[in-house]
Amino acid sequence: MSLTCRTFFHGRPMTFPRLPTIILTDLLLLYGVTLMYSQDEVAFALLLLVLATFGSWLLISKKHDNLRLAFPCLTLIATFTILPLIYTTNIAFTNYSADHRLSYERARAELLTQSWHPDGEHYKFKLFREGPGLRLMLIDNTSSEEHLLTGPIIVRDDTNAQQTVPASISIHRPVGAELPPDDINKNSTVLANLVILLPDGTELSMINPNSFATKARLYQADEDRPYPDPSLALTDKRTGEILDADMAAGYFTRKHSTEPVAPGFITYIGWDNFRRIFTEPTIHNPLLKNCVWSVTFAAISVALTLTIGLLLAVLLQWPPLRGNNIYRCLLILPYAIPVFVAALMFRGLFGQNSGEINPLFGSESLWFTNALLAKIMVIMVNTWLGYPYIMILCTGLLTDIADDLYEASALDGASPLQNLMYITIPIIIKPLAPALIASFAFNFNNLLLIAMLTDGAPHIPDSPVGATDVVAGFAYQTAFVSQDYGLAAAVAALTFLLMSAVAQAYLLATKRLQ
Amino acid sequence: MAMVQPGNLQRRVWAARVAMWLFLLITLSPLVVLVLASLESGNTVTGSLIPRHFSLGHWYLALGIPWTEADGSITPPPFPLLTWLWNSIKVAIISSAVIVMFTTIGAYACARRRFHGQRVLLAIMIILPMFPPVLALTGIHSLFDQLGHYLAWLGVDSLWSLTLAHLGGAILPFWLLKGYLTTIDSAPEEAAIIAGATTWQVLRYILLPSFAPILMTAFTLAFIASMTEFPVASVLLHSTDKLTLPVGLRHYLRPEHFLWQDFAAAAILCGLPITVVFLIGQRWLVSGQNVFRVRD
């Protein structure tokens, strides 16, 4: 049997070193998990660990052949489709925003790198050429012969890179030529990013265009309290004050003061973002407008595309109309043009200044300033974009209807309208229902069309959004213009709930087909 | 042809024809206007449909070639359009190839094999398109922002990040392939399995030869979805030379900087290939979007 199989398939049976490969991959993945965990990315470490464990178990186990086959695809979908959704919901419960961009650990590390110049010695300096680079001579206030001479300083293209050079005490002048003040200005970014390490270990950095001074860390970690105790404090070395992490507010604050010390960090704030949506009128007024508009827009779009698409499909099915295929090709054209090209095209045609369509309607560019007209325009354009899809679907469904139904109705003297209302629509509406629900859901979140066509215009005063923005647009503007990611994620999470209801309807509609 | 015909057939046919022509006139005229606008010199909206001053300048600029006006002044291309097109193509090809590889095997497993939890998994996959990436933008942005701290080439403003993010478009190709698999006869595969073939051999020697057209279609579906994707790309990409087509093309028509004729040439140049690919694949694509009907 196995011999016939080999000759039949012209190949050797698979001799794949399975176990060594699994072990090697797992070791690599475990290294990644450790790396992530050490960087405090616990969520990612856990996810990778679960996926790796589950995958290895599937591959090694003698059973579960079928699930093993599906595993890579399921992992792909879980990682790139489902994970972002879950992660967004997670952000909805945090204060992630412009002032709170970093994790607690990063914010703390950032504070620990901040430095200041305590009162101490100031050094005037002279700049010398040293081959392709530079060299500094630092002179302190005492009048002794001795001065400090730095090692060579490299001038890179990337002048913003920080550079540390050692310095030593010397009585000789450097060999290179001394450079005039102009060159000091030219190299100011190099000098500003320079840290000079003195023999006794202190660090110097530039404090003004003519001098360097001792540089010290501004904050000191309290070594006695073990990391990562959230009460772990920092000491401000200027004043000796203690800084505590306020885990509820997402800021480090000084004792006896509520004034936050930037940068803030990301922290969980419970349902606060959702509470804000429902209590702050500046948020829920525009959001409610956008929500009503999204539903209206999606519903009218579906209704219009269905009407036009169905009528055209019926017309195309009618044998006496010659040239059906040419009509069909031309009618499909709007669907084939990418939405971003078509929507931008209409933006130009309706023109903010004086588009090509305006002379036809006699209205002077009100399309983008009057909310009602803007909405009508968006719906018209979306109908233009969407009717071919419904038309194609209906054409497919109409071919399934038996001709003798129409024969019978013709014998009874039915009009075309009666045929449509009493034969065609009742038969195709059921198989069409899932597509219509999907189309509704798609248009509800049709950010692409709005972004390309109106950009939300006209603008709603005192809000980040416009009258034609859909809910997804509200989330987009809140996150990437107002930089309030937490609030935007909360809006998205509420949309998930709404979409779950639509998805339920969709599942029901598909089930009814079977 | 129906046997019973109404008496006034001719009148009805003509009424239908006229209605169809009128509809096509309204529907297709914007496209004609766009083509004509790309041939008009200058960048102001003239209000007239027929170009008064014929010029190929906008096409030169769209192709990235500086255009010399009649008076000798040289106009440089306003945007690196071909770079954007190339960026889009790179991202789309890599992400679609990966998607097709993974979903082919996944679709085969879900269509031909039974495993624990399959019904639930498929139900989840049916409703997942209701939760598009546009709702997960904050999550996607934050994920790549954090990844970028460790791997700079996978951070924000990297085409690799966008490629990874576009792997989220695997659902529709999956359903297309699974829908196709459930409609074709599984007898040859079963025969091969009885003859002792491994899964790999079944996929490689039995399925793949007849599978090639539908794989190309799945690839096209994923490719077009990636080429035309806007929200995620606009969130992840910032620098001018890294933009993709949908994000970049928007810069032509900003209220303060309205390059209508330049846009027309650019839009036709970049939109046409996508349109042609779509028209070739649409027969299959549509049946692919219909797959929910043919589930077993």
Q: A272-303, pLDDT tens digit by residue?
A: 999 999 999 999 999 999 999 999 999 999 99
Contact criterion met (CB < 8 Å) for B126 and A507: yes
Residues A339 and A458 placed together within one structural domain of the fold: yes
Task: Identify which has the larger pLDDT, A381 or A11.
Answer: A381
Closest CA to B137 of A466, A293, A477: A477
Task: Tell me, yes or no, whether A100 lies in a domain.
Answer: no
CA distance A450 to A464: 15
As given in the structure block, the two tokens for residue A301 are: 């779009």
**Residue A429 contacts B where some CB pair is shorter than 8 Å:** no
CB atoms within 10 A of CB B65: 12
**Is the predicted pLDDT of residue B21 greater than 80, yes or no?**
yes
**Residue A201 contacts B where some CB pair is shorter than 8 Å:** no
Q: What is the pLDDT of residues A308-322, one digit of tens each?
A: 999 999 888 888 887
Residues A36 and A161 placed together within one structural domain of the fold: no
Task: Tell me, yes or no, whether A57 lies in a domain.
Answer: yes
Question: What's the whole-number mean pLDDT along residues A142-163?
Answer: 74
Under the banding of pLDDT at 50, 70 and 90, the label for residue A398 is confident
Residues A339 and A448 placed together within one structural domain of the fold: yes
**Residue A355 contacts B where some CB pair is shorter than 8 Å:** yes
Residues sharing a CB contact under 8 Å with residue A158, sequence separation 6 or more, in sequence order:
none
The angle, 0 to 180 degrees and rounded to 10, between the axes of the packed helices A272-279 and A281-317 is: 80
How many domains does one find in chain A? 3
Q: What is the pLDDT of residues A110-130, one digit of tens each?
A: 888 888 877 777 788 888 887
Percentage of chain B modeled with pLDDT above 70: 89
A399-427: b or e for each residue (b if 16 or more CB lie within 10 Å)? eeeeeeebeebeeeebebeebeeebbeeb
CA distances (Å), A294 to each of A246, B15, B135, B228, in order? 39, 37, 14, 22
Of B109, B137, B196, the CB nearest to A70: B109
Most confident of A57-66, A257-266, B13-22: B13-22
Task: Identify which has the larger pLDDT, A67 or A451.
Answer: A451
| Residues in A 88-117 with any Cβ partner in B closer than 8 A | 88-91, 96, 106
Under the banding of pLDDT at 50, 70 and 90, the label for residue A135 is confident
Q: What is the pLDDT of residues A254-277, one digit of tens each?
A: 877 777 887 888 999 999 999 999
Task: Tell me, yes or no, whether A474 lies in a domain.
Answer: yes
Under the banding of pLDDT at 50, 70 and 90, the label for residue A244 is confident
Contact criterion met (CB < 8 Å) for B167 and A514: no
The whole domain housing A331 covers 276-513
Q: What is the DSSP letter of A238?
A: T
**Is the predicted pLDDT of residue A305 greater than 90, yes or no?**
yes
**Is the predicted pLDDT of residue B127 greater than 80, yes or no?**
yes
Average pLDDT, chain B: 85
As given in the structure block, the two tokens for residue A50 are: 């679960």
Residues sharing a CB contact under 8 Å with residue B72, sequence separation 6 or more, in sequence order:
none
Closest CA to A223 of A211, A215, A232, A212: A232
**Is the predicted pLDDT of residue B62 greater than 70, yes or no?**
yes
Instruction: Return the pLDDT at A345.
Output: 93
Judge whether A346 and B263 are in contact, CB under 8 Å.
no
B94 CA: distance to closest CA in chain A (Å)? 15
For residue A254, list its beta bridge partners. A243
Q: What are the backbone dihedrals phi and psi of residue B64, each rounded to the nearest 5 degrees, phi first?
A: 85, 15
Residues A387 and A310 placed together within one structural domain of the fold: yes
CA distance A270 to A54: 31
Query: Measured in whole angstroms, how far is the alpha carbon of residue A446 from the centre of its chain?
Result: 16
Residues A433 and A326 placed together within one structural domain of the fold: yes
Most confident of A5-14, A15-24, A360-369, B171-180: B171-180
CA distance A384 to A335: 8
Instruction: Return the pLDDT at A342.
Output: 94
**Residue A48 contacts B where some CB pair is shorter than 8 Å:** no
Judge whether A234 and A252 are in contact, CB under 8 Å.
yes
Question: What's the whole-number mean pLDDT along residues A75-104?
Answer: 91
Of A74, A330, A496, the CB nearest to B24: A330
Average pLDDT, chain A: 83
Residues sharing a CB contact under 8 Å with residue A323, sequence separation 6 or more, in sequence order:
none
Task: Identify which has the larger pLDDT, A462 or A62.
Answer: A462
**Residue A438 contacts B where some CB pair is shorter than 8 Å:** yes
Instruction: Return the pLDDT at B284.
Output: 63
CATH superfamily of B81-294: MetI-like (1.10.3720.10)
Judge whether A442 and B41 are in contact, CB under 8 Å.
no
Of B12, B127, B200, the CB nearest to A507: B127
**Is the predicted pLDDT of residue A182 greater than 70, yes or no?**
yes
As given in the structure block, the two tokens for residue A320 are: 């006496």
B37 CA: distance to closest CA in chain A (Å)? 10
Closest CA to B216 of B121, B117, B122, B100: B100
ipTM value of the model? Answer: 0.90
As given in the structure block, the two tokens for residue B15 are: 């009424």
Task: Tell me, yes or no, whether A389 lies in a domain.
Answer: yes
Instruction: Return the pLDDT at A416.
Output: 81
Burial label for A506, CB within 10 Å (0-12, 13-18, 19+), is buried
Q: What is the pLDDT of residues A225-240, one digit of tens each?
A: 555 555 567 778 777 7
Residues A368 and A432 placed together within one structural domain of the fold: yes
**Is the predicted pLDDT of residue A223 greater than 70, yes or no?**
no
**Is the predicted pLDDT of residue B56 greater than 90, yes or no?**
no
**Residue A436 contacts B where some CB pair is shorter than 8 Å:** no
Residues A159 and A210 placed together within one structural domain of the fold: yes
Burial label for A393, CB within 10 Å (0-12, 13-18, 19+), is buried
Burial label for A320, CB within 10 Å (0-12, 13-18, 19+), is middle
3-class SS of residue A365: coil
Contact criterion met (CB < 8 Å) for B109 and A339: no
CA distance A445 to A85: 15
Instruction: Give the domain-ending residue among A91, A123, A157.
Output: A91
Task: Tell me, yes or no, whether A3 lies in a domain.
Answer: no
Which residue ranges make up each domain of chain B? Answer: 81-294
| Closest CA in chain A for residue B266 | A341
Q: What are the backbone dihedrals phi and psi of residue A264, each rounded to the nearest 5 degrees, phi first?
A: -80, 170
Closest CA to B243 of B63, B31, B23, B86: B86
Instruction: Return the pLDDT at A363.
Output: 52
Q: Which residues of B fall within a CB distance of 8 Å from A447?
A: 134, 230-231
Contact criterion met (CB < 8 Å) for A514 and B295: yes
Q: Which residues of B fall within a CB distance of 8 Å from A329?
A: 279
Residues A345 and A440 placed together within one structural domain of the fold: yes
Residues A73 and A151 placed together within one structural domain of the fold: no
Residue A13 host element (H or E): none
For residue A459, list its beta bridge partners. A466
Q: What is the pLDDT of residues B250-279, one digit of tens each?
A: 999 887 788 888 899 999 999 999 998 888
Task: Tell me, yes or no, whether A266 lies in a domain.
Answer: no
**Is the predicted pLDDT of residue B290 greater than 50, yes or no?**
no
CA distance A41 to A59: 27
Question: What's the whole-number mean pLDDT along residues A489-508?
Answer: 94
Under the banding of pLDDT at 50, 70 and 90, the label for residue B45 is low
DSSP for A434-479, please give it: HHHHHHHHHHHT-HHHHHHHTTTPSBPTTSS-BTT--HHHHHHHHH
Instruction: Return the pLDDT at A378.
Output: 96
**Is the predicted pLDDT of residue A9 greater than 50, yes or no?**
no
Amino acid residing at A162: Q
For residue A336, the domain's CATH number is 1.10.3720.10
Task: Tell me, yes or no, whether A418 lies in a domain.
Answer: yes
Residues A79 and A120 placed together within one structural domain of the fold: no
Instruction: Return the pLDDT at A375.
Output: 95
**Is the predicted pLDDT of residue B289 greater than 60, yes or no?**
no
Burial label for B165, CB within 10 Å (0-12, 13-18, 19+), is buried
Judge whether A198 and A167 are in contact, CB under 8 Å.
yes
**Residue A474 contacts B where some CB pair is shorter than 8 Å:** no
Q: 3-state secondary structure string, chain B?
A: CCCCCCCCHHHHHHHHHHHHHHHHHHHHHHHHHHHHHHCECCCCCCCCCCCCCECCHHHHHHCCCCEECCCCCEECCCCCHHHHHHHHHHHHHHHHHHHHHHHHHHHHHHHHCCCCCHHHHHHHHHHHHHCCHHHHHHHHHHHHHHHHHHCHHHCCCCHHHHHHHHHHHHHHHHHHHHHHHHHCCCHHHHHHHHCCCCHHHHHHHHHHHHHHHHHHHHHHHHHHHHHCCCHHHHHHCCCHHHCCHHHHHHHHEECCEECHHHHHHHHHHHHHHHHHHHHHHHHHHHHHHCHHHHCC
**Is the predicted pLDDT of residue A410 greater than 90, yes or no?**
no
Burial label for B52, CB within 10 Å (0-12, 13-18, 19+), is exposed
Question: What's the whole-number mean pLDDT along residues B19-24?
Answer: 92
- The CA R_g of chain A, rounded to the nearest whole Å, is 35
Task: Tell me, yes or no, whether A179 lies in a domain.
Answer: yes
Instruction: Return the pLDDT at B51.
Output: 67
Residues A488 and A386 placed together within one structural domain of the fold: yes
Residue A83 host element (H or E): helix A83-91
